[in-house]
Structure 1
Amino acid sequence: MAESLQEQMAMMTMDPEDFISSLTPHLRARVNELQTLQGQHDELEKAFRKERAALEEKYAKLYAPLYADRAAIVKGEKEVALPEGETAAAGEPEKGIPGFWATVLARAELVQNEKDADALTYLTDITCESVSGTSKQPAEDGGEETEVETTGFMLTFTFKENPYFTNTVLTKSYHMLDDDEPVLERSEGTEIDWKPGKNITVKVMKKKPKKGARPDAKPQTKLEPVDSFFNFFSPPQVPDDDADMDGEEMEQLHEEIEADYDAGDTIKTKLIPHAVAWFTGEALEDEGIGMFGDDDDEVEDEDDDDDDEAPPRARGGRGPKAAAGAGGAAGEQPQECKQQ
């Protein structure tokens, strides 16, 4: 029995061609036939992916005018007549639906604090579109770089003028290597142009002068990061393959990247297509879509620990496989994303 187990272990480590060659003629013929069947299956799968992409593109075009009408109503650009017999309430608020997207994000547990909630009241629309491109990747044999196709999606957040930042549009994009099992190559976010003293992703910490310091010594100040929805636009970066990181650092990065991707996928596949249900609360039957983890109160002068969980398999095999998230395999073009 021991010899049999050792032989099996040795066979499992063999090169595939050597493994097949080691089989008896009858076994080898049967395996070859199975490989033929597998090849036929793979061809059908390619056809399926092609047809699915075309179907998703078709329905993306059908969804587009519905999203446009929704945006117009939310912004107040399109008025909706009252039902017959009803009259407007006295002192009714501004046109549109104030705080629509702020409410959607709050119900989805993506709003982290009161400043987030206030800044997001100026958010007027969130849209998604598919993106594609190319990326240079190192050859496995150490040769010249090769250019490969990439796919992914971009989220666009449109804001009206607000007291926090000057940007009117913030974007977040995810780029996957175009493979049967998509691999996250990188994610990118807009740099936010914060107005003076309005950066809600940091807090000012003051430390009293040490004992024995000069009487006129001023308190030391430094900026500490805080949990905020707007950290979403500063995604963790996948390091180069030769980056010097220990196992603990790699695991932490793995979790951050996975949480970042899951957040984007949640917005893409749940919030954008079903925003009305989130606004009204009907979508709250689904649980576990929080982006940043628990919101336990923390001591002001302690470091803030993010409980982010993170995305698809990162470039270089550093992360997990592209997460399916809420709406299918990563990198696939979702129905709710417009084709670019």
Structure 2
Amino acid sequence: MSAKGVKRASPGAEEEKNPLGDVDLSDEDAVKLQELQRSYRRVELAIERSAAEKMQPVYEKRRPVVKAIAKFWPVALMNHEMFAIHCQHNLDQVALAYLEDLWVVRHPKEFRAFTLEFHFKENPFFTNTLLKKEYKYVQPAGAQDGEADENSVTDAMFDFSWERDVEPQVDWKDDAHNLTKLYPRVADAADEDDLSDSGSFFNFFELADDPLDLGVNIAHDVFPEAIDYFLGEKGGQEIDSDDEDEEEDEENEEEIDLEKPRVKKRKY
């Protein structure tokens, strides 16, 4: 007779309670899953590269159109939340207002590495008409390209690490108004990998590292979706084209406020 209050477990009760708790993955199956993941990533990489190549003519067609629109790129950038957070100083925005073109040049061998080109009109802040930041691809030591597969992907392309294989390089010089000295980047005393103050946005060009991932956000988000950001369909607030807004726009048509960039949307 069993003790009072104690229930005897029936055979198989533990398995019924946790039927998925005893799954064992053999080494052979683990290798097969890894190979499948690798195959999946290879195809995914090929699709990403193909998309980048197919979009290039679209970006080239877009380039002269948006360049002809006053302050297109400053407004598009400021409508990106992350960028706006780190471009809050008024002088940064005044300098940014001279930006007339933004371009992304992909590395010919490794498309995930790129150079950002900021083309400026003549301005009182720096003599350069071109500020650029390069995220240079450095192939890992000992890595071999190998033969390309059916998707034109090599082993070297597949074995890619952004932190390990890309080195930011800077080509910028401030001449008249040194914004990076006025607003320096300040590291966090408690965590050297973090910032207590990002300072001027233009530290982005003067310093090699990019702890805020501004370059990645610009190249992967703002640049491909630039028109949506400019129109306020992404990031910024949208404005309906009612009569009251039209009157306000007419009063301010000569200047776009970069602190709160808003663009009237046309109704179709």
* C-alpha distance in 2 between matches for 1:35 and 1:46: 17
1:54-99 residue CA offsets vs partner (Å, 9 max, x unmatched) = 2222222221122112210122xxxxxxxxxxxxxxxxxxxx2111
The answer to whether the 8 A contact 1:188-1:234 is kept is no
Q: Any residues of structure 2 matched to 1:285-300 within 5 Å, and which?
A: none
Paired residue type of 2:119: T
- Does the 8 Å contact 2:132/2:171 carry over to 1? no
Which of the two has greater strand per residue? 1
Which of 73, 94, 106 is residue 78 of structure 2 equivalent to?
106
Please give the alpha-carbon distance, in whole angstroms, between the structure 1 residues aligned to 2:26 and 2:211: 36
Q: Which residue of 1 aligns with 2:44?
A: 52
CA distance in 2, matches of 1:72, 1:151: 25
SS of the residue corresponding to residue 168 of structure 2 reads strand
| Map of 1:275 onto structure 2 | 226
- Distance in 2 (alpha carbons) for counterparts of 1:188 and 1:181: 16
Q: Give the corresponding residue for 1:61.
A: 53
1:50 Cα deviation after fit: 2.3
After superposition, where does 1:164-179 map in structure 2 within 5 Å?
A: 164-175=125-136
- Whether the 8 Å CA contact 2:133–2:171 is kept in 1: the answer is no
CA spacing shift, 1:36–1:153, aligned 2, 3 Å? farther
In structure 2, the CA distance between the partners of 1:191 and 1:279, relative to structure 1 (3 Å rule), is same
Cα distance, 1:266–1:37 mapped onto 2, change above 3 Å: same
Residues paired across the two proteins, number: 179
> Do the aligned partners of 2:126 and 2:174 also contact (CA within 8 Å) in 1?
yes
Cα distance change of structure 1 residues 199 and 71 upon mapping to structure 2, 3 Å threshold: same
Counterpart amino acid of 1:173?
A: E
Instruction: Provide the identity percentage.
Output: 31
The match for 2:179 among 178, 181, 200 is: 200
Q: Give the Å deviation of 1:183.
A: 5.0
Question: Which residue matches 1:323?
Answer: none
TM-score normalised by length of structure 2? 0.56
Q: In the superposition, relative to structure 1, how do residues 154 and 192 fare at CA in structure 2: closer, same or farther (>3 Å)?
A: closer
Distance 1:187 1:285 in 2: 31
Alpha carbons of 1:175 and 1:46: their partners in 2 closer, same or farther (altered >3 Å)? farther
Q: 2: distance between equivalents of 1:169 and 1:118?
A: 17
Q: 1:36 to 1:129 in 2, by over 3 A?
A: farther
Indicate if the aligned counterparts of 2:132 and 2:170 stay in contact, CA closer than 8 A: yes
Q: Distance in 2 between matches of 1:267 and 1:285?
A: 15
Give the TM-score normalised by structure 1. 0.45
* Aligned partner of residue 104 in structure 2, secondary structure: strand
**Secondary structure at the counterpart of residue 30 of structure 2:** helix
Separation in 2, partners of 1:150, 1:63: 13
Provide the rounded CA distance (Å) in 1 between the counterparts of 2:135 and 2:218.
13
Name the SS for the 1:184 alignment partner.
helix
More off after superposition, 36-45 vs 183-192: 183-192
SS of residue in 1 equivalent to 2:113: strand
Give the direction of change, closer, same or farther, for the CA distance of 1:125–1:48 in structure 2 (3 Å limit).
farther
